[in-house]
């Protein structure tokens, strides 16, 4: 058995399982947690014969992370600025309300 996908996203796992089963590919889920712990990754396994076709199907289903046009350093800078502004506002309104 070959690993096609490993994820903690139960909806994605079920979507992949259904898509592969719809294509006639036998799927084995290696889920030691029994779906009781949502943060434990589940492995989707297929046979060696169906591995290549399964990878193509999974590639279409797995979302890609959107690339941000804002450089990482700029995002961090603005995060720090917003955090500092929030702290200053809390102090200012705290002084007004408390006395």
Tell me, yes or no, whether 66 lies in a domain.
Answer: no
Determine the Cα–Cα distance for residues 42 and 13; give it in Å rounded to an integer.
8
**Cα-to-chain-centroid distance, residue 58:** 14
CB neighbours (10 Å) of residue 44?
A: 23
CATH number at residue 14: 3.30.70.790
Residue pLDDT, tens place only, 12-71: 999 999 999 999 999 998 876 555 567 788 899 999 999 999 999 999 888 776 655 656
Residues 36 and 57 in one domain: yes
Its pTM surpasses 0.85: no
Instruction: Determine the pLDDT at residue 56.
Output: 93
Residues 15 and 49 in one domain: yes
Residues 9 and 46 in one domain: yes
Instruction: Determine the pLDDT at residue 9.
Output: 86
Unique residue bearing structure tokens 């690339």? 67
Residues 55 and 17 in one domain: yes
Determine the Cα–Cα distance for residues 32 and 91; give it in Å rounded to an integer.
48
């Amino acid at each position: 058995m070959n690993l096609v996908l490993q994820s903690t996203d139960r909806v994605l796992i079920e979507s992949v399982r259904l898509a592969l089963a719809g294509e006639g590919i036998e799927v084995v889920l290696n889920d030691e947690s029994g779906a009781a712990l949502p943060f434990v990754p589940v492995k989707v396994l297929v046979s060696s014969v169906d591995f290549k076709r399964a990878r193509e199907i999974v590639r279409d289903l797995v979302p890609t992370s959107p690339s941000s046009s804002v450089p990482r350093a700029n995002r961090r800078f603005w995060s720090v600025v917003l955090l500092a502004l929030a702290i200053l506002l809390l102090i200012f309104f705290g002084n007004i309300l408390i006395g």
